[in-house]
Amino acid sequence: MNRLIRLVLVFALSYGSVYAQNEKPEPAPARPKPKVAPELAKLSFLVGEFTTDTKIHPNPVAPEGEAALGTLKTKWALDSMFLLLEEVIDFPLFGTYRGMGLLTYDRVGKQYYLGMHNNFGDHPSYKGNFVGDTLILEGQIPFEGGSFTQHVMWLWDGNNIKLWVRNNMGEGFVPVIEQTYLPAAKTSKENRKK
């Protein structure tokens, strides 16, 4: 009889331990991923890692203009409410430019907002909207003795993204910077082929 009781106990304990191993605790409910507002979803073409090819038009500081290469990394931040931009450009004349900005949509003002900061000490801000497929933002840029209006525009150009910067010092908008964004993955593949 003792053998039978021991056998039943062993069976019960082993069955219980197997059952306990197979029974998994319920996972915590998954936190829903924030939904991107339709206005913010329109900025998705700017998300990723890019190499940049920058052309500065001739100006009093650089009479011949200047060309430079750099990188741009953009990603969603703060529950996909902001697009974080981090840029580095190595200018032969001006030195290394490092900029960081947040791009978002202001639901109250019904327009896009970009706030930038850079290692040159500038901190411009811009507001605007899409006109067709082009995002056009405008800001007042202070300088010693006054300010001027600056447009920052992003648009698709074939398979690349273009950034155009235009200044208006009171006599109409003049092109200042043209920048092409090339997807970093595409650029590194092209470099490996060479």
Handedness of CA 53, 156, 136, 110 (dihedral sign): negative
Tell me if 145 is assigned to some domain.
yes
Residue 124 is encoded by which pair of tokens? 């411009």
In the beta sheet, which residues pair with residue 150? 139, 167
pLDDT band at 27 (very low <50, low <70, confident <90, very high): low
Would you say residue 1 has pLDDT above 70?
A: no
Say what the pLDDT of residue 23 is.
54
Question: What average pLDDT does the chain have?
Answer: 84
Tell me if 147 is assigned to some domain.
yes
Give the separation between CA 193 and CA 103, rounded to whole angstroms.
35
Number of domains in the chain: 1
Tell me if 113 is assigned to some domain.
yes
Note whether 25 and 40 are within 8 A (CB). Answer: no
Tell me if 7 is assigned to some domain.
no
Tell me if 93 is assigned to some domain.
yes
Q: What is the pLDDT of residues 38-91, one digit of tens each?
A: 999 999 999 999 999 999 999 888 889 999 999 999 999 998 999 999 999 999
Which domain, by its residues, includes 124? 38-193
Could you count the other beta carbons within 10 Å of the beta carbon of residue 83? 22
Would you say residue 96 has pLDDT above 80?
A: yes
Sequence-distant (6+) residues with CB within 8 A of 42 are: 130, 135
Say what the pLDDT of residue 29 is.
63
- For 26, which DSSP code? P
Q: Any idea what the CATH number is for the domain that residue 71 is in?
A: 2.40.128.20
Tell me if 30 is assigned to some domain.
no
Give the separation between CA 126 and CA 75, rounded to whole angstroms.
19
Say what the pLDDT of residue 172 is.
95
Say what the pLDDT of residue 33 is.
55
Give the separation between CA 60 and CA 80, rounded to whole angstroms.
40
Tell me if 15 is assigned to some domain.
no
**Which stretch of DSSP H or E encloses residue 65?**
none
Tell me if 6 is assigned to some domain.
no
Would you say residue 7 has pLDDT above 80?
A: no
Q: What is the 3-state secondary structure (H, E, C) of 91-160?
A: ECCCEEEEEEEEEEEECCCCEEEEEEEECCCCCCEEEEEEECCEEEEEEEEEECCEEEEEEEEEEEECCE
Sequence-distant (6+) residues with CB within 8 A of 144 are: none
Q: What pTM did the predictor assign? A: 0.76
Sequence-distant (6+) residues with CB within 8 A of 170 are: 148
Q: What is the pLDDT of residues 108-166, one digit of tens each?
A: 999 999 999 999 999 999 999 999 999 999 999 998 889 999 999 999 888 889 999 99
Give the separation between CA 114 and CA 88, rounded to whole angstroms.
17
Say what the pLDDT of residue 84 is.
97
